[in-house]
A and B are shown apart, each in its own frame.
Chain A
């Protein structure tokens, strides 16, 4: 059974600070890792994808992957009130079939306090 675990929160962070979101996954064969942001009543929106161990930076966002520890995180620097949303961690266990679905965590609700 593939599982992706996230702390549901809410995680409250002051404006301008660094928000740190964490995710663990159970299947060691997982090969693709994604962070989606979802505003209330809206669809998931891709923030970052990461495939290799280490850090990947895109603007204020940094994704970190540690496959040995089965751990992926998202850092948001200089947090803004507009970053307040639910952040979904998702993984793909690529089976070679070509159409593997995403396995999602239940999401972390992030609140940026002005």
Chain B
């Protein structure tokens, strides 16, 4: 987890409320990713970023938006949380993207009631 922090680490919220999760890195890596992990599904890519203000969708992007205004921060927003978004969210970083290794942050456990 060195060089990657996520906040909050745990959050409980109610259906319909907006939620923002933050990923912060100190490695100055260009590429950042958001994944969610659910029992029976494994880890799935939500969104990724290949530079400041450059983002794109992953496999399960519906209901999520992202922003990256600084190299070190990548925000994931649930505009109106639903119970199906209850999950563990992991941020990952990669220095050069492509085929390179991705390193994961400690995760955020989100419960939507």
A, B assembled together: yes
Please state if A102 and B49 are interface contacts (CB–CB under 8 Å): no
- Chain B residue nearest to A94 in the complex (CB): B99
Count of residues in B whose CB is under 8 Å from the partner chain: 30
Please state if A99 and B41 are interface contacts (CB–CB under 8 Å): no
Least CB distance from B59 to A in Å reads 7
Kindly state whether residue A31 has any CB partner on chain B within 8 Å.
Answer: yes
Please state if B41 and A106 are interface contacts (CB–CB under 8 Å): yes
Please state if B99 and A45 are interface contacts (CB–CB under 8 Å): no
Please state if B42 and A44 are interface contacts (CB–CB under 8 Å): no
Which listed residue, B31, B50, B59, B107, touches A43 by the CB 8 Å rule? Answer: B107
Please state if B104 and A99 are interface contacts (CB–CB under 8 Å): no
Please state if B101 and A46 are interface contacts (CB–CB under 8 Å): yes
- Complex CA gap A45/B104 in Å reads 7
- Chain A residue nearest to B103 in the complex (CB): A46
Kindly state whether residue A75 has any CB partner on chain B within 8 Å.
Answer: no
Please state if B42 and A43 are interface contacts (CB–CB under 8 Å): no
Please state if B98 and A104 are interface contacts (CB–CB under 8 Å): no
| Given A31-B99, A34-B101, A99 contacting B49 (CB threshold 8 A) | yes
Interface size bracket, A side:
20 to 34
- Complex CA gap A107/B49 in Å reads 26
Please state if A51 and B99 are interface contacts (CB–CB under 8 Å): yes
Least CB distance from B81 to A in Å reads 22
Binary CB contact string for chain B from 39 to 66 against chain A (1 if under 8 A, 0 otherwise)? 0111111001110000010110000000
Kindly state whether residue B102 has any CB partner on chain A within 8 Å.
Answer: yes
- Complex CA gap A114/B71 in Å reads 46
Please state if B49 and A43 are interface contacts (CB–CB under 8 Å): no
| Given A44-B43, A88-B43, A106-B42, A101 contacting B48 (CB threshold 8 A) | yes
Please state if A92 and B43 are interface contacts (CB–CB under 8 Å): no
- Complex CA gap A105/B102 in Å reads 16
- Complex CA gap A98/B31 in Å reads 9
Kindly state whether residue A57 has any CB partner on chain B within 8 Å.
Answer: no
Least CB distance from A71 to B in Å reads 18
